[in-house]
Amino acid sequence: MRFMLLFSRQGKLRLQKWYTATAERDKKKMVRELMQIVLARKPKMCSFLEWRDLKIVYKRYASLYFCCAIEEQDNELITLEVIHRFVELLDKYFGSVCELDIIFNFEKAYFILDEFLMGGEIQDTSKKSVLKAIEQADLLQEEDESPRSVLEEMGLA
């Protein structure tokens, strides 16, 4: 997989993950171009399209589009299920995930994606293994973080 994008129906990019080195300017251009293409497609259309020398696999979940760019010889259907499994992971972690969860906890979304996909290849397909890794990390986080008062949080203490 070359990259994965999450964007909303309004064309707001919520998450981007690039698995090959790409210049920032090119990234922006590609994102813009792809969002335009994908958002223009109708619901019953097929989830695959050819774009430049890549294949695009996308799926819409509620207000969010998940969009993967894969290479010529990659398997489209299994990529569709990569997306689905990622959604399942998010769902399980956040408990019925919605776009807001991903906005406010974007760093968590990145961590989950990293546990699931690495270098553009699937690292572990087991939901349990991935979530176990994330939960372990969260446990560490809670140990770290003693609760703070609101004033401290505002930097007023």
Partner 1 sequence: MRGLAVFISDIRNCKSKEAEVKRINKELANIRSKFKGDKALDGYSKKKYVCKLLFIFLLGHDIDFGHMEAVNLLSSNKYTEKQIGYLFISVLVNSNSDLISLINNGIKNDLASRNPTFMNLALHCIANVGSREMAEAFASQIPSILVAGDTMDSVKQSAALCLLRLNRTSPDLVPMGEWTARVVHLLNDQHLGVVTAATSLITTLAQKSPEDFRTSISLAVARLSRIVTSASIDLQDYTYYFVAAPWLSVKLLRLLQCYPPPEDAALRSRLTECLETILNKAQEPPKSKKVQHSNAKNAVLFEAIALIIHHDSEPTLLVRACNQLGQFLQHRETNLRYLALESMCTLASSEFSHEAVKTHIDTVINALKTERDVSVRQRAVDLLYAMCDRSNSKQIVAEMLSYLENADYSIREEIVLKVAILAEKYAVDYTWYVDTILNLIRIAGDHVSEEVWYRVIQIVINQDDVQGYAAKTVFEALQTPACHENLLKVGGYILGEFGNLIAGDPRSSPLVQFNLLHSKFHLCSVPTRALLLSAYIKFINLFPEVKPTIQDVLRSDSQLRNADVELQQRAIEYLRLSCIASTDILATVLEEMPPFPERESSILAKLKKKKGPGKVPDMDEARWNVNGNTEHSENTEPTNKSSPPSLVADLLPTNRPRPASYSPTILSAGNMAPSHPFTDLLNMNSSPAAGASLLVDVLFVCKNNGVIFENQLLQIGLKSEYRQNLGRIYVFYGNKTSSQFLSFSSSVTSSDTLKTHILPLLRLLLTDLSLNVHTMPVDPTVEGGAQLQQILNIECLSDFSDTPVLNVQFRYGGTLQNIAVKLPVMLNKFFQPTEMTSEDFFQRWKQLGVPQQEVQTIFKAQHPMDTDVTNAKILGFGVALLSGVDPNPANFVGAGVIHTKNTQVGCLLRLEPNPQAEMYRLTLRTSRESVSQRLCDLLSEQF
78 lies in the binding site for partner 1 (CB under 8 A)? yes
Burial 52-62 (b: 16+ CB within 10 A, else e): eebbbbbbebe
Contacts with partner 1 by CB under 8 A: the residue count is 59
Nearer to partner 1, 9 or 84 (CB): 84
Candidate residues 60, 63, 81, 101; the one interacting with partner 1 per rule CB under 8 A = 81
| Rounded Cα gap, residues 48 and 126, in angstroms | 25
CB 93 within 8 A of CB 134: yes
- Options 9, 11, 127, 135; binder of partner 1; rule CB under 8 A: 127
* Under rule CB under 8 A, residue 77 binds partner 1: yes
What are the residues facing 67 on neighbouring strands? 5, 58
Q: Using CA atoms, how far apart are residues 26 and 144, in angstroms rounded to an integer? A: 39
Q: Find where tokens 């959604």 sit.
A: 87
- Site residues (CB under 8 A) for partner 1? 13, 15-16, 19-21, 24, 28, 42, 44-50, 53, 72-73, 75-78, 80-82, 84-85, 103-104, 106-107, 110-111, 114, 118-129, 133, 136-137, 140-141, 144-145, 148, 150, 153-155
